[in-house]
Amino acid sequence: MTESAGRKLTIGLLWHSITSDNLGVGALSLSQMAIITDAAHRVGAQVRFIVIGTQGKTPYPVQLFEVVGCVTFSLKALSNYSDALRQCDIVFDIGEGDSFADIYGIKRLIAQVLSKCLARLFRKPLILSPQTIGPFNSVIGKSLGKIGLFMANRIYARDHLSMRYLDQLGCHDKSTEIIDVAFVLPFERPFRENNASVRIGINVSGLLYNGGYTGRNEFGLSLDYRALIEGSCEFFLSQPSVEVYLVPHVISDTIEVEDDLRVSKKLIERYPELRLAPRFRSPIEAKSFISGLDFFTGARMHACIAAFSSGVPVLSMAYSRKFNGLFNSMKYSHVLDCLSSDTISALQMLRQAFENRAQLAIEVEAGNRIAQAKLEVYTKKISDLFKLDE
């Protein structure tokens, strides 16, 4: 092994995107690039990136980073991925945050696992960056998940539930619990007048509002999500001196079932007092807007992370264990579990969280200290990886 100081490394960013209509995937990608660049600078190395994953129609500003390629991963065009892999020194796979699971269907999981197998076939070090591991609910899902994990040189979980699952599968020796990398995403807090109204943000997931991809509650929610959203709007609009914003975080002109914007516009037709956040051009714009709110709730996890990491009291609407695991890892218990709560109790929890938002803000501040400490561990581990050429 030789010292890598002064070298320029080509980093493959697998299952990342710098054009995704899902701003959560974008937040992960921009944050990961910042962390890897910092880690390289600490050991005198330089990095350039090849971004590999899905492509959207929302190109983000990436002038701070050297991006030398963007490749769409497709089961029908694996040669493009193979060509990209040949150029890479190391591959960092973030699984779009939570796609290394079978809750979105077996086809997506097959793509996730095949991409990992090909990286190792080309003898590239494969790092699973902080992400949710699983759940794998089906027999075939469990088998595919084990294969994917076997391919990785190192695994970083973003929550303690994922880490527990890795321990159960015997992956403890190559696994470390970190946190979601999007906690480092920069933002610019908007100016607020001292006498301004209380600003509330609601992220409405188009995917949940439409019942999932099948329209038949495929995520197994125990409550009526539409009733929860409508009740939330009615509650907040009934409060004195408030501005209530709907905040889309997945905006897709092509995949209607996932689009938060269409659903938000329909709600505004029903509740004209609601306001619509701007159409964000990047994850940083979204986080900057959210940072100017006084309270936030929603079911898009990275919209909730944008709130939390900018100090805004937040109540997440969890449709997967990824929420519970992440926020509990920061000792933050204010998560509305849509897989176990009924609609009435969920609305009551929302009311209590809003009324106690000053206390939530204190707990958010403490949680952010935990998150930053965990991400420093991750950055140091990447620096150590760059010191030596495997």
Question: What are 302-311's pLDDT values in tens digits?
Answer: 999 999 999 9
Give residue 135's pLDDT band: very low, low, confident or very high (50, 70, 90).
confident
* Arithmetic mean of pLDDT, 193-210: 92
All CATH 3.40.50.2000 domain ranges in the chain, comma separated: 198-366
Tens of pLDDT, residue by residue over 320-358, are: 888 988 999 999 999 999 999 999 999 999 999 999 999
> DSSP for 180-210?
-GGGG----PPP--TTPPEEEEEEPPHHHHT
All CATH 3.40.50.11930 domain ranges in the chain, comma separated: 8-184+370-387
Top-confidence residue, 104 or 244: 244
Retrieve residue 298's tokens: 């929603």
- Closest by CA to 284, choosing from 30, 111, 11, 113, is 30
Q: What is the pTM of this model?
A: 0.92
Q: Is 172 helix (H, G, I), strand (E, B) or coil?
A: helix
Look up the CATH number of domain 8-184+370-387. 3.40.50.11930
Cis peptide before 135 (omega within 30 of 0): yes
Under CATH, to which class is 198-366 assigned? alpha beta
Give residue 389's pLDDT band: very low, low, confident or very high (50, 70, 90).
low
Residue 323 is predicted with a pLDDT of 92
Tens of pLDDT, residue by residue over 105-130, are: 999 999 999 999 999 999 999 999 99
pLDDT for residue 23 is more than 80: yes
Rounded to whole angstroms, how far apart are CA atoms 332 and 98? Answer: 20
Rounded to whole angstroms, how far apart are CA atoms 211 and 339? Answer: 13
Give residue 3's pLDDT band: very low, low, confident or very high (50, 70, 90).
very low
Residue 77 is predicted with a pLDDT of 87
Residue 1 is predicted with a pLDDT of 33
Rounded to whole angstroms, how far apart are CA atoms 182 and 171? Answer: 25
Residue 388 is predicted with a pLDDT of 67
* Exposure letters 221-236 (e unless 16+ CB within 10 A, then b): bebbbbebbbbbbeeb
Rounded to whole angstroms, how far apart are CA atoms 293 and 192? Answer: 10
- Closest by CA to 11, choosing from 38, 37, 41, 44, is 37
pLDDT for residue 221 is more than 70: yes
